[in-house]
Every structure is written in structure tokens, then in C-alpha cells.
Amino acid sequence: MSPALPAIPRDRLPALLRAMPKAELHIHIEGSLEPELIFELARRNQVTLPYASVEALRAAYAFSDLQSFLDIYYAGASVLLKEADFFAMAWAYFERAAADNVVHAELFFDPQTHTARGVAMRDIVVGLAHACRRAHAEFGISAKLILCFLRHLSEAEAMATLEAALPYREHFIGVGLDSSELGHPPEKFAQVFARCRALGLHRVAHAGEEGPPAYIESALDRLQVERIDHGVRCLESPALVQRLARERMPLTVCPLSNVKLCVFPSLAEHNLKALLDAGLCATVNSDDPAYFGGYINDNFVQTFAALPALDASHAHQLALNSFEASFAPAADKLRWQAQLDAAFATAA
């Protein structure tokens, strides 16, 4: 149990948001690929990009919805060919995460994006896992991998991807579901998720980002997920909100992503405070930081600036929620909670 929170003056809130330990639970590692690294890998791997320069690529980062982003995101990922490329991408993320005081990260990766181009599953998983081990050794970040199935592809293709990944089972802790949400409801993947459950894999799914509350219910009932990625549209269904609160089902919310993909018109209109007020286990995450204008601390600082009703107690709750919602061992969660309380005591 945390002691009573010390009073924190509002002007110290941004520094505290940056300094507090936190877990990142919703980061697509391919979405951390900065334009500079995209061009560097394109040069090394002799991949031709449909953009003339880093500036031209960045200028294309104006999205109208999820699909308009995904088209560019998959084009950016086309430069990843070798084990060393996957290592370099993840290592660049961990350097940013360490600077943001991330103590635990669960990274999504999309193998089908790469195997479709002839990249070996081994090179993807081993390159990412190497970076995870080094992040632990150098930064003390506990880092885990979650393999995501692309929902615009078939369940049979997801099943084949799972089989191809099983020789590397020790390197990932769970599975997720991402890509184009509308028209691809969770139940499309009920059988592959049932197999993952039987294999002892953790299960999460994107739902309620652009899709309706029924998609969140389907992820819970048909996929038996342990977390919902995004889930912000749950507020449209009071019965669903009650259920999510009762079951303490975590939501991995990504405020900057939601604004960039036009889920909300602005950060000032984001529903993060309403989610917390409803008693939900909401967390703050970056989603695709290279594309959405910021890493996890940018998400915290900009969201708190835009929503003045959020105060230090909300910051503490969000960090605590991130530990609770993680798939980390209980002893690690207790240690991070003590570090969190120490950060608040120092800031007071």
C-alpha cells in the first residue's frame, strides 16, 4: 500500500512526470523507426523508398485515420531485412525509453510485415530479443516481446505465423492483434487465440480504437484477452465500462496517437480523465512514437498540459496502473511501486 501522496506544486508536475518510473505496454517497435534510421537502413540494404529525403518522409506524416497511417508505417518497415536491423531499431527505442525512466517495456512486433518480404522469422525474433537482453544488462529495463497478428490478413495466416514462431517461443511472452480494425472484428481470430492460450501465452488485442464497444466485448469474450489496447471507445457503453472496472481490465491508452489518427480532435478533448474517473485501469503509452510526435514522456507531459484537471494523484495512479497491468512478476511490481513513491517524495 502506498503512503499518502505528498503535495506536489503544479509547476513541478512536468519534471515529475518525466522522472517517475513507468512501464510502457503499448509500443509497436516498427513504429519507433525514426526517418533518419529508415533512410540509413534503406541505404545499407539498397531498398528504394518512395520519398526523396528524411524531410519529405516526415512531411508525409499527416494522417486522417488509422489506415492512412498504416500505409506509411508498412512502407517504413520495408527497410528491415537483417537481424542487425531489428536489433538497431529496438536498441534505438531502448535508449529513448531509458531516458524516459521506463523500467519495464512490452514491445509489440509484427512478423507478418517482414516474413511477407522474405525475412526469416529467426532474424526478426533473435534481433529483437538481443536488444531486450542488452536493455536489461545496460539500463536495468526489463523488456519483453509480444508477437502481433495482422488482423487484415486471415486467421489461417495468423496460425501459420504462430507455428513459424514457436521454435523461438522462449523469446516472446504473448500475442496481440493489430492493424486495420474496422471490418476485422476480434472473433475472426478466436481459434488462433485459443491455441495461444493453450500454449500459455499472454493475450492482448487492439479494440475500441476506431472500432465500436462490441469489438472490445468480442476481444474479452472470444479471445479472452488480459488487456485491451486503446479501448477509448468503451465510454460509449456504460455497461461495458462497469464490466471493465469490475474486472480491472487494463486499457493501454495512447493519447498522441489518438489525436494524430483523428480519434479525438485534440488532446484537450481526450477522455483519459473520464476513463480514470470511471475507475478503469488506464495507462499512458506511445503506440508509434516516431510517427505520432513523441515518446512516452511526451505523451504524459502534453496530455497533462492539455487536461488541467489531471494532477499529481493521476500521475501516480497511471504509473501504478502501468505496473499492475504489466505481465511482470509481483516482486518487480512491488519494487517499482517503492521507486514510484520515492520519486514523489523527492518531488514534494
Catalytic positions are 209
Residue with smaller CB distance to Zn ion, 217 or 287: 287
> What residues make contact with Zn ion under the rule CB under 5 A?
287
Interacting residues with ligand ADE between 214 and 243 (CB under 6 A): none
Choose which of 100, 178, 217, 298 interacts with ligand ADE (CB under 6 A). 178
| Angstrom distance (rounded) from CA 106 to CA 147 | 10
322 binds, among ligand ADE, Zn ion, none (CB under 5 to 8 A by kind): none
Quick one: what does residue 209 bind among ligand ADE, Zn ion, none, with the CB cut-off 5 to 8 Å set by partner type?
ligand ADE
The residue (of 100 and 178) whose beta carbon lies closer to ligand ADE is 178
Closer of 144 and 206 to ligand ADE (Cβ): 206
* Count of CB atoms situated within 10 Å of the CB of 65: 13
Under the binding rule (CB under 6 A), the answer on residue 106 touching ligand ADE is: no
Applying CB under 6 A, among 179, 283, 297, 322 the residue interacting with ligand ADE is 179
How far lies 139's CA from each of 94, 99, 142, 143, 334, in Å?
8, 10, 9, 10, 19
Contacts of 245 (CB under 8 A, 6+ apart): 278, 279, 280
Residue nearest ligand ADE, Cβ-based: 178
Give the shortest CB-62-to-ligand ADE separation in angstroms.
16
Q: Are 148 and 192 in contact (CB under 8 A)?
A: no
User: Of the two residues 100 and 287, which places its CB atom closer to Zn ion in the complex?
Assistant: 287
Does residue number 206 form part of the binding site for ligand ADE (CB under 6 A)? Answer: yes
How far apart, in Å, are the Cα atoms of 220 and each of 189, 281, 325?
12, 15, 15
CB of 108 to Zn ion, least distance (A): 7
Which DSSP helix (H) or strand (E) runs through 131?
helix 121-139
Q: Are 220 and 191 spatial neighbours (Cβ–Cβ below 8 Å)?
A: no
CB of 330 to ligand ADE, least distance (A): 30
What CA–CA distance (Å, rounded) separates 267 from 273? 11
Q: Does 244 participate in binding ligand ADE (rule CB under 6 A)?
A: no
- What distance, in Å, lies between the first and last C-alpha atoms of the chain? 19
* Beta-bridge partner residues of 178: 150
- Non-local (6+) Cβ contacts of 60 within 8 A are 51, 72
Restricting to residues 44-73, name those near ligand ADE by CB under 6 A.
Answer: 66, 73
* Pairwise CA distance, residues 313 & 161, whole Å: 42
CB 126 → ligand ADE: shortest distance, Å? 22
For the CA atoms of 295, 31, 320, 253, the dihedral, rounded to the nearest 10 degrees, stands at 100
Pick what 31 binds: Zn ion, ligand ADE, none; C-beta below 5 to 8 Å, kind-dependent.
ligand ADE
The residue (of 206 and 222) whose beta carbon lies closer to ligand ADE is 206
Q: How far is the CB of 144 from Zn ion (least distance, A)?
A: 16
Site residues for ligand ADE, 268-307, by CB under 6 A, read 287-288
Q: Which is nearer to Zn ion, 80 or 177 (CB)?
A: 177
**Interface residues toward ligand ADE, by CB under 6 A:** 28, 31, 66, 73, 178-179, 206, 209, 257, 287-288
